[in-house]
A and B are shown apart, each in its own frame.
Chain A
Amino acid sequence: MNSLSDIAPQPQRLVWQQATVVAITLETPSVKVFRLRPAEWHGFTAGQHVDIRLTAPDGYQAERSFSIASAPDGTGMIDLAIDKIDDGEVSPFFHEVVEIGDEIELRGPIGGHFIWSAGDGGPLLLIAGGSGLVPLMSMLRYRALAAPEIPATLIYSARRNEDLIWRDELFRRATQDPNFTLLATLSRETTPIEGARLGRIDRALLDAALASLPAPPETTFVCGSNRFVSAASTFVLDAGVPFASVRTERYGG
């Protein structure tokens, strides 16, 4: 964490711009994915986020940050996955009001620490709780495009089977990609689900993830709620993974 090698080139200034909503997909009962085409976009690094700014007719504004789920793939478009928070201000607007063709104001990309490029190497250990998967999904999709030889393992904890975002894509990648291992765990299911274990993340699951990699992880990325990240990071450190190689991102803030 003291080294400077993880620092992405930073723009001189982040400018607000309009982005057009070009597709909306309901991925789980509570998560919608919005594909946006910013007016001027010069790419990003997997793991980065954008700031969204919504403006009411009287000038009142609300801002929130959302991680990018898609890979930096040169299309000039980015996917944001937005979890519906019932008592929220911004996420219900996205779920109930936003339509294809709408213009949304954003600026980015932002973030120079919770990021990964092929040049950073591997193996990669990715640990996601719920919608904490989003920035890690960008890394996985980018890795498949740019560096599929780098070993990667994803521990993905969700409440129920139906809450697994990009479920089909993740299982397909795990089947087809010999260097990618998926360890899904479901904390609120009680009956067996094919391809997933039941229960919360624990030390045994962490040990299984480490055993699935041919060498210790170069970098471990942990993303989710604070409670999830605290628990997962403790297992990671207890398993002997060096403190400085673990990067965290916590949401709910």
Chain B
Amino acid sequence: MATRGFLGRRPTDGEGERLPPGQYRTDDFPVLSAGPTPRVALKDWSFTLKDGVRPVMRWDWDAFNQLPQSKLTRDIHCVTKWSKFNTAWSGVMIDDILAEAGIAAPSEFTLAHSYDGYSTNVPTDDLINGKAMVATHFDGKPIIADHGGPARLLVPHLYFWKSAKWVNGLQFTNRDEAGFWELRGYHMRGDPWREQRFTGD
């Protein structure tokens, strides 16, 4: 049913088809997080890959930056309704992290963990085969703390809360264990093209 008197402001040519349902385009880069921005010093930073409770491999900042570097330029979509086009990231593909650790993904489900205690669950298929990275640079510069630096997960084809800021590890799990927002009513997968914002969407 139409809303009385609402005409709306249409996306310009070619923009509409890049906008998932319910999203609008912004050229800003809004900041959203559940708490204050954690202060993570590079000398204290590390990234741990776990299979269940078992640590598989751990990198400090220097070692992590020795891994193969890749670039991804993608549109990103936040569940709070904004989308930003052509965001340019670089970092280490999840595929390369697994290759360095010498393993294939051992289960269908993954939890990403962060320095602020945040976590988010992502189906493993959404992380591998060139789809996702641990990003360390945005627009050619180190990611600032408000946007998740030193390093954040980047899963650009899912709502952006899945791209955990201040990431410090990936943990493969046997079950699909709900992360921070997923426990609080947000969707377990979060595909913006299917508008999977909340539980039951």
Contact = CB atoms under 8 A, between A and B. Distances in A.
Interface of A: 1-2, 4, 7-8, 10-14, 18, 51, 53-57, 60-65, 89, 93, 97-98, 102-105, 110-114, 222, 226, 230, 233-234, 236-237, 243-244, 246-248, 250, 252-253
Interface in B159-201: 180-181, 183-185, 197-201
B35 A64 contact: no
A232 to B, nearest CB: 9
Looking at chain B, what size class is its interface with the partner chain? 35 or more
Contacts of B130: none
B32 interface: yes
B63 interface: no
Contacts of A89: 8-9, 24
B102 interface: no
A11 to B, nearest CB: 7
Contact of B33 (A8, A14, A62, A250): A250
B184 A53 contact: no
Nearest to B3: A54
14 contacts: A1-B117, A7-B183, A11-B200, A13-B200, A14-B200, A56-B7, A61-B21, A61-B22, A102-B4, A102-B5, A113-B180, A233-B36, A246-B35, A250-B32
B24 A62 contact: yes
B6 A55 contact: yes
A65 B185 contact: no
Contacts of A60: 8, 10
Contacts of B116: 1, 243
Contact of A243 (B30, B38, B185): B38
A93 B5 contact: yes
B6 A97 contact: yes
B85 interface: no
A111 B184 CA distance: 7
